[in-house]
Amino acid sequence: MKPLLALFLGWMACLPAMAAGPDLAEALRAMPLPAQTRINRDNAIDVILDTFQSNRVVKAILFLPGVADDFYLIDRDAPPLNLGATNLFEAITALTNATAVRAIFQEPFLLLHVSRDTLSPACVAEEARVAGILRKENHLPHACWKDAHWERIQPIMERQFGRPVRPAGPSADGWHFSRHNLAAWGLSDWEFLNALSLAGGTRVTVQKRGIIVEVRGTL
């Protein structure tokens, strides 16, 4: 078999699990994992988020809530995966081939999810002018949150965005948000709020002078 044909067929075999185009694959291949890394359910999220680097194709990788539930609760006693990979593309492809996790690129996000996860953010702005401003601003140029509770995230957002963010971090209203697992580079404030909605399973409402975050489905 000719080398170029073999390379093409190998790439096509990855498409159903990865749902990626060649630009994304090239970008992820340029992000090396530490030597001799073995990927299992208890470290997969950390390894992938820690490896993700700033690039020209995808701004953020998000693990949606169902993945963490499967890895840490439902399948925690399953046999180890013991997956090998040398770069981020190989790691994500191996993970999607070995588990129920799927990867889909919804620009600017790469979403890692299971079938029951919601793939659309719930982020609204009460005024179009405010949404326009948020699309131009960038108050969090980089974030890497692993199993992060709202109590940790809320003070960072309030400080960086310079506006009230509710509920307050220690409030019981945030106890039912999913833990957030994401790594991001260069998101606009509006993109970041959409990422927050996806990762936390929440609805984000931007008001004139503040940001309200609620469990998705509440009014």
* Domain finish residue from 65, 80, 113: 113
One domain, residues 88 and 147:
no
Q: How many domains does the chain have?
A: 2
Which pair of structure tokens corresponds to residue 65?
């809530």
Query: Is 7's pLDDT higher than 50?
Result: no
One domain, residues 70 and 170:
no
CA distance 108 to 18: 16
Best CA proximity match to 202, nearest among 193, 189, 212, 215: 215
One domain, residues 92 and 136:
no
One domain, residues 182 and 199:
yes
Position 189 scores a pLDDT of 96
Q: In which domain, by residue range, is 130 found?
A: 122-215
One domain, residues 139 and 183:
yes
Cβ atoms of residues 216 and 201 within 8 Å: yes
* Model pLDDT for residues 48-66, shown as the tens digit of each residue: 999 999 999 999 999 999 9
One domain, residues 99 and 194:
no
Q: Which CA distances in Å does 48 have to 5, 66, 132, 182?
A: 29, 16, 32, 10
Residue 174 belongs to domain with CATH number: 3.55.50
One domain, residues 198 and 131:
yes
Cβ atoms of residues 122 and 43 within 8 Å: no
DSSP 35: T
* Model pLDDT for residues 121-171, shown as the tens digit of each residue: 999 999 889 889 999 999 999 999 999 999 999 999 999 988 899 999 999
One domain, residues 135 and 65:
no
